[in-house]
Homo-oligomer: A and B are copies of this chain.
Amino acid sequence: MRGFYPGRFQPFHGGHRRFVERIADEVDEVVVGVGSAQASHTGRNPFTAGERVTMAHRALADLETTTYVVSIEDVGQHALWPAHVRTQCPRFEVVYTNNPMVERVCEEDGLDVSGVELIDRDRYNGTDVRRRMVEGDTWRDRVPEATVDVVEEVDGVKRLRRVVEHGQHSVDGSGDDSH
C-alpha cells in the first residue's frame, strides 16, 4: 500500500521529516507531493519546486521505506485536483492530510483520507520558519541539514527578504507603480 502526503514544503522542515517517518510505519511506500510546483519567489512560496524536491529527497534519503518525491503544479481548479494528482503520482491508496479542503475534494473523489497528527506544532511550522528567516531569528535547528544546505546554496534567506520587503510589488507587471 502506498500513502500520499501532499504539502508545499516551503521549506521542508523537521515536522515534515518526522511525519514521513510515521506514515512509513503504516504503508509500504510513501509519495511526497511537492505542491504548487510552479510557484516561487513570493513570501509564502519562496523556494522553487527544484529546491524543495532537493530538500525533501536528501532529507529522506536514509529512510528504509521507498519514498517518491513528486512535484505537482497547480491545476487551478479545486475539483480537478484529485484527478490531476493521480496522473502525476505513483498509484496510491490513502491520502495523509489535515487540510480540510484537500480532505473534502479527495473524499468527494472517493479517495481514503487519513488525518495528519501535528507534531510539535509550535516548533515545526512553515510560516514560523519563514518568519524566522526574514527576521534573522534562529531557524536552522528546525529543518533537516539538507534544507539548510539548499537554502544557503541559493542564498534563500536574502531572496525571501527581498520578496517580502516590498510585497506590494509584483514581478509580473514589474513596474514600480509609485514612480
Contact = CB atoms under 8 A, between A and B. Distances in A.
Interface of A: 6-10, 15-16, 19, 33, 35-42, 44-45, 48-51, 53-54, 57, 61, 66, 68-71, 73-84, 86-91, 97-105, 108-110, 116, 118-119, 121, 124-127, 153-154, 159, 162-163, 165-166, 169-179
B87 A80 contact: yes
A171 B78 CA distance: 6
A78 B42 contact: yes
Copies in the complex: 6
B8 A173 contact: yes
Contacts of A177: 7-8, 10, 44, 125-127
Contacts of A171: 78, 81, 99, 101-102, 105
B179 A102 contact: no
Given A42-B78, A179-B125, A71 B68 contact: no
Contacts of A103: 162
A41 B101 contact: yes
Given A118-B178, A175-B8, A179-B7, A166 B75 contact: no
